[in-house]
Amino acid sequence: MDENGTIVPAEVKGWNWGAFMYNIFWGIGNKTYLPLLCLIPVFNIVWIFVCGFKGNEWAWQKGDYKDVETFKAVQATWNRAGIVQFILSIALIALYFLFIGTIITAILNSTNY
């Protein structure tokens, strides 16, 4: 039993990509406001992982879900959006470093002449 006397079913526990990637928006949308702590600089680096890990439990405790299937259907949308955002972020970071590496290589090669 956790917050508000609500027991969190085992099927609900687990990683939530929506809470990880969209922590503040996800928290407001699920009426759980602990993800607002992600607004604190430096602390947010750790707290986004806490949100990803504990997000489903917080959402279950704060929501008025009738059953686990309804909860999973709602969170599936957040999870899909979160995983897509994560993949896009990794791809953009990789492209950024590739671009910077190309520029540095071009600069170094042009000074050798």
Task: Please tell me the distance from the alpha carbon of residue 22 to that of residue 45, in angstroms, as a whole number.
Answer: 13
Q: What DSSP designation does 8 have?
A: P
**Averaged pLDDT for residues 66-76:** 94
Answer yes or no: are the C-beta atoms of 13 and 57 closer than 8 Å.
yes
Q: Is the pTM of this model over 0.85?
A: no
Helices (H), the chain: 17-21, 23-29, 43-62, 68-111
Rounding to the nearest 10 degrees, give the CA dihedral for residues 75, 78, 79, 83: 180
Rg for the chain, CA atoms, rounded: 19
Give residue 3's pLDDT band: very low, low, confident or very high (50, 70, 90): low
**pLDDT mean across residues, the chain:** 92
| Tens-digit pLDDT profile for residues 24-51 | 999 999 999 999 999 999 999 999 999 9
Q: Is 99 exposed, middle or buried (0-12, 13-18, 19+ CB in 10 A)?
A: exposed
